[in-house]
Amino acid sequence: MRSWVWTANLSNSIVGVSVLAMPFCIQQCGLVLGLLLLLFSSTLTKWSCGLLIRAAQISRRSSYEALALSTFGPLGKSIVEVSIIGLQLGTCIAFYVIIGDLAPPTIARITGLSWSPFVLRAVILCVAAVLIVLPLGMLRDFANLSTISVVSLSFYICFMLYLLCLALSNIFSSNLWPHLSLWNINGVFKCLPIFSLAFSCHTQLLIIYDAHPDPTLNKMNSIISDAVNLTGLLYGSVALGGYLTFCIDHVEGDVLSNFYPSLISQFMKLCFALSVVVSFPMMIFPCRVSINSLISQVRNIYILSSRISDHSFPLYSTGY
């Protein structure tokens, strides 16, 4: 299987709602310092992911949970699993919030629906959960998500290019330069957690490692490097484009809030909501593995891979 399949899936695991906060972080830290922090976070992610893969190969473990068992024992394994479940559930909640904020007003403007915002929000979230999230969540093979990942990444790239085009039309304005900030140390502690979590993919990495037919160290390091480089370029370009476009006024924490109402901006918001919807499986896979491993440990069964039995898989998928 071609390496781009795994690179696309890992890249889509990394990219998320954090991309909307990149211009805000640049405004808080300054253009130069913000981009340096972004570079530092991406380098740290490559290093830590490489450590995970080497540890997995040395210990001959193919899942995050099994690696935690080898390293910290049963208690440490349980703590890691609960942490993974909490992280993925929290991310899914954030996804639903983003979908609920973006999709209902956009669909109402496009279609002219006069439903109450609460009803429209509830209907859209239910439809997305039942018709999109649930079927995608029932997929067993992580590699089957590659097409969805490519489509999702294609939108993020279009979003990046749109922001860069807006920035190019603004960069020659005489009003822009007095508002530019290159270095603001006061914003580091506010934005460094955002930069760090923006590259989070460690829980998905070992699922890819377990599913890869030939997960040699060189191949996995190549996948990690390509995925982090791609998302780093995406984050940096969105950060630069969004900051140069909106810094004259004020860059919001969600850069989509800065867009003036137009057909293109509404289309971008709707596409972003759709890209978030199809990214749910990236969170479901590691959460499902941790739930299975945690429940199995209660029965004194220790699972050393990310594979789930046929009778447990539907239960965990629909329950999640």
For the beta carbon of residue 257, count every other beta carbon within 10 angstroms.
14
pLDDT digits (tens, 9 = 90+) for 19-63: 999 999 999 999 999 999 999 999 999 999 999 999 999 998 888
pLDDT, averaged in runs of 10, over the chain (320 residues): 85 91 95 96 96 94 90 92 93 91 89 87 94 90 89 93 90 79 92 92 93 92 96 96 90 90 86 91 92 82 70 66
HSE of 139, CA atoms in CB hemisphere, 13 A: 22
**Residue 307: is it exposed, middle or buried by C-beta count within 10 angstroms (0-12/13-18/19+)?**
middle
Estimate to the nearest angstrom the gap between the alpha carbon of 255 and the chain centroid: 16
State the DSSP string of 55-84. HHHHHT--SHHHHHHHHHHHHHHHHHHHHH
Model pTM? Answer: 0.92
pLDDT digits (tens, 9 = 90+) for 260-303: 888 888 888 898 999 999 999 999 999 999 998 888 887 767 77
pLDDT of residue 195: 94
Instruction: Pull the structure tokens for residue 279.
Output: 């990214």
pLDDT of residue 316: 66
Collect all residues with Cβ–Cβ distance below 8 Å to 165 and sequence separation of at least 6.
241
Whole-angstrom distance, CA of residue 52 vs CA of residue 46: 10
Estimate to the nearest angstrom the gap between the alpha carbon of 279 and the chain centroid: 8
Question: For residue 176, which amino acid is it?
Answer: L
pLDDT of residue 173: 75
pLDDT of residue 120: 93
Estimate to the nearest angstrom the gap between the alpha carbon of 4 and the chain centroid: 18
pLDDT of residue 280: 92
Given a contact cutoff of 8 angstroms between Cβ atoms, the answer to whether 208 and 9 are in contact is yes
pLDDT of residue 67: 92
Angle between helices 31-59 and 64-111 (to 10 degrees): 140
For the beta carbon of residue 89, count every other beta carbon within 10 angstroms.
13
Instruction: Pick the closest to residue 266 from 104, 151, 154 (CA basis).
Output: 104
pLDDT of residue 317: 66
Angle, CA 186 vertex, CA 185 and CA 192 arms, to 5°:
80
Mean pLDDT estimate for the chain: 90
**Residue 224: is it exposed, middle or buried by C-beta count within 10 angstroms (0-12/13-18/19+)?**
buried
Instruction: Pull the structure tokens for residue 157.
Output: 């790239």
pLDDT of residue 172: 77
